[in-house]
Amino acid sequence: AQTVTQSQPEMSVQEAETVTLSCTYDTSESDYYLFWYKQPPSRQMILVIRQEAYKQQNATENRFSVNFQKAAKSFSLKISDSQLGDAAMYFCAYRSPHGQNFVFGPGTRLSVLP
């Protein structure tokens, strides 16, 4: 079974600075899909960015980008120009193309300091 690990329970970043959140996963599949979700204090789950494993190019969405290292099974999220509204729990998630379930990591709580 696949597993997702987020080794940083908490992180903090100064406003306007850059921060990277780590995610590693374990799978024997060659094709799969990876996602980062943000959960602010309102507890809504908001999709931040997605990456398809067969694409070598790292996904980017405005200030959010990923560093996808398939061989290392690593999928880190970089937030540039951090804003106070970025403060949230961030979850990394894995989806197999063959299964119906998503495997979530335990989350990283990000604080943004003014």
5 CB-near residues (< 8 Å, 6+ apart): 23, 24, 25, 26, 105, 106
Residues 52-81 that bind other proteins (CB under 8 A): 52
Comparing C-alpha atoms, which of 101, 54, 105 is closest to residue 77? 105
Beta-strand relationship, 108-113 and 102-104: unpaired
Smallest distance, other proteins to C-beta of residue 94, A: 11
Binding flags for other proteins, 77-106, as an x/- string (CB under 8 A): ------------x-x-x-xxxx-xxx-xxx
User: Binding to other proteins by residue 40, rule CB under 8 A?
Assistant: no
List 8, 20, 22, 50, residue binding other proteins (CB under 8 A): 50
Q: Would you say 90 and 77 are in contact if contact means Cβ atoms under 8 Å apart?
A: yes
Cα gap 3→105, rounded to integer Å: 8
Applying CB under 8 A, the span of 14-22, 44-52, 63-71, 80-88 interacting with other proteins comes to 44-52
Rule CB under 8 A: which residues touch other proteins?
Answer: 33, 35, 37, 43-45, 47, 50, 52, 89, 91, 93, 95-98, 100-102, 104-107, 109
